[in-house]
Amino acid sequence: MRVLLIISIIVLLCGVLLSQEQLFLTLSEAENIATETGPNVKVAKLNYKQAQASHIAAWNPFLPKLSTSVSYQHSEIPLYGYPAQNNWTFGLDISLPSINGGRNFISLRQSSLSKSISNLELKDKLAKIRVDVATMFFSMVNSIMKREVSKESLKRTEEYKKFVEKRFELGSASELNVAEINVQHAQKKRNLIIAENSLATARENLARILGFPVDTEFTVDTVLTPPSLEDIADLYEYLERWRENRDYRKSVLARKQSGLGELSSWLNYFPNLNFSAGYNYNTKGLPESFSQIKDNAILSYRVTASWPIISGTSRISSLMSSKTSNEISKINEHLASENAKQQIISKHRSIMEAAANYELAESQIAQANLLLSAIKRKYELGSATSLELKDAEMALEEAQIYRITAMADYYISRIEIQWLIGNL
């Protein structure tokens, strides 16, 4: 499935380049590109592979070791007439897992926890990339909409400019009126340039996280469902899932690791037991058959037990350090739980506020449109000043931008709260 997705992404990009058409991306398409081909994802996956390798290494003490050896020695002393001697030695040694006070089992469990933490970090990295993509995606949507607002505002100002210039030719407008509208027109042109630059910056930021060249020309889907307070889930529904927060889950695993570390420190006071066996054959010449090795080889078994009684301060310091680490991990777990709850509550408030701001902006836009129409009629009749027209125009533009910002904040906060409850 992943291979097909990557192939489809490559085909999509190649098709756009060959056809010279502008690439159009939805949010889900942008997320898929970033989580499959983005450079940050590759680093996160490589980190997880390192954790897998460490987990495999933790099984090493539980597996037997088998080794073989062959040696040949030639010796002679010609001065004293001793004949030359050839000695062949064949050996087969095996060592069984040692009972290292039980610490091997703890190390294996700790390695398993480390692997689980790395897996959570990988998932969290992928989820955070989706959050970053969404943030930059809606930043671009925001910029596109603001550019359109600037274009509309400039278009209206150009109409006012033509009207004032016509009135000036008829003698019903002063030079001051012309100067004022020229300044307003220049401001609107500047605002449009700023909006275009903001859009270009937003596109470059999104291109970077998608792994595109920064000069790639593309646009994004700007069709969004308007926010509604009635559609927002209750805070309790989100708080029910605070334990799925990945930072909290990692803190739980880290606390378990620290607990095992403290237990391992206590096991330093327990005895160690090692098992090994050897099968060796020594001869002056090469054996003529396998049965000759079998009949003359020496089989040996070794069992070694050790129990350190006094070993300086190393075990005491290790125990004190592990106990301290365990206490710190418990505190960190508590802090992570409270932080997860607080972040969910804060993000839910942001969603509510953004939806309320959107509804307020809708009302303000309706009011500003009515006010601008009324002022425009009065201005054409000469009963309203250019300053009143400028204020009405600015009120409409500010309300439109306020609505755009509220919508972007709403969708970004919705994605962020899903990340906080581990749903991405």
DSSP line for 184-209: HHHHHHHHHHHHHHHHHHHHHHHHHH
| CA-closest candidate to residue 379, choices 147, 131, 190, 184 | 184
pLDDT digits (tens, 9 = 90+) for 214-246: 888 899 998 888 888 888 999 999 999 999 999
DSSP state of 20: T
pLDDT in the model for residue 80: 58
Cα-based distances in Å from 390 to 328, 378, 380: 61, 13, 14
In a domain, 15, yes or no: no
Instruction: Find which of 69-78, 152-161, 194-203, 258-267 is predicted with most confidence, using mean pLDDT.
Output: 194-203
- The residue assigned the tokens 């391992």 is 264
Closest Cα partner for 303 from 281, 272, 268?
A: 272
Task: Identify whether the C-beta of residue 47 lies closer than 8 Å to the C-beta of residue 79.
Answer: no
**Would you say 375 and 384 are in contact if contact means Cβ atoms under 8 Å apart?**
yes
Is position 262 within any domain?
Answer: yes
Residue 90 forms beta bridges with which residues?
A: 70, 281
The phi and psi torsions of 375 (rounded to 5 degrees) equal: -65, -40
Rounded to a whole number of angstroms, the distance between the first and last alpha carbons of the chain is: 19
Share the mean pLDDT of the chain.
83
- Residue 13 half-sphere exposure toward CB, CA atoms < 13 A: 15
Would you say residue 175 lies in a domain?
A: yes
**Is 390 domain-assigned?**
yes
Over 90: is that where the pLDDT of 268 sits? no
Q: Which two tokens stand for residue 375?
A: 């002022």
Is residue 1 a part of any domain in this protein? no
pLDDT in tens, 61-109: 777 777 777 787 777 766 555 666 777 776 777 776 666 667 777 888 8
- 169-178, 255-264, 294-303: least confidently modelled range: 294-303
CA gap 406, 331 in Å, rounded: 38
Give the total number of structural domains in the chain: 1
pLDDT(2) > 60:
no
**pLDDT cut 90: percent of the chain above it:** 38
- Asked whether residue 225 is assigned to any structural domain, the reply reads yes
With 70 as the cut, is the pLDDT of residue 404 above it? Answer: yes
CA 79 remoteness from chain centre: 78
Residue 331 has pLDDT above 70, yes or no: yes
Q: Which of 127-136, 273-282, 310-319, 414-423 has the lowest mean pLDDT?
A: 273-282
375 close to 389: Cβ distance less than 8 angstroms: yes
At 386, list the tokens.
């250019």
* Residue numbers of the domain that contains 415: 101-271+318-420
pLDDT at 7: 42
Q: Give the pLDDT score at 337.
A: 95
pTM: 0.76
- Which pLDDT belongs to residue 283? 67
Q: What value does the mean pLDDT take over residues 351-362? A: 95
Q: What is the mean pLDDT of the segment spanning 310-339? A: 88
pLDDT tens digits along 108-162: 888 888 888 888 888 888 888 889 999 999 999 999 999 999 999 999 999 888 9
Inside any domain, residue 323: yes
pLDDT at 250 over 70: yes
* Structural domain contains residue 26: no
pLDDT higher than 80, residue 400: yes
d(CA 332, CA 322): 15
Task: Return the CATH number at 241.
Answer: 1.20.1600.10
Report pLDDT for 1: 46
Share of the chain above pLDDT 70, in %: 86
Q: What's the Cα-to-Cα distance from 294 to each of 66, 290, 291, rounded to whole Å? A: 18, 6, 5
